[in-house]
């Protein structure tokens, strides 16, 4: 998936990159623990600052199987 238009303000001025942490960024819910590295792509709206991230389909499928 990719963000081409900001869902918050409608701007198409979108930058893309990756969230960067010291080692990894974690997402934890009551069901899953995601360790986010190169398997997560993020998009930032250069108009309002909204950031949206997508986990790769391959990693998502791997997590769902656990």
Report the distance separating Cα 65 and Cα 54, nearest Å.
18
Token digits of residue 21: 């942490």
E strands of 1-66, at which residues? Answer: 14-17, 25-28, 33-36, 40-45, 51-55
Note whether 53 binds Zn ion by CB under 5 A. Answer: no
Q: Which is nearer to Zn ion, 50 or 59 (CB)?
A: 50
Residue 23 CB, shortest distance to Zn ion, in Å, is: 30
Note whether 44 binds Zn ion by CB under 5 A. Answer: no
Which residue ranges make up the site for Zn ion (CB under 5 A)? Answer: 6, 8-9, 11, 45, 47-48, 50
């Amino acid at each position: 998936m990719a963000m081409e238009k900001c869902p918050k303000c409608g701007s198409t001025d979108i930058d893309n990159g990756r969230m960067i942490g010291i080692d990894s960024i974690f997402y934890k819910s009551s069901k899953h623990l995601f360790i986010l590295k190169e398997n997560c792509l993020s998009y930032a709206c250069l108009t309002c600052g909204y950031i949206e991230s997508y986990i790769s389909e391959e990693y998502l499928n791997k997590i769902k199987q656990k």
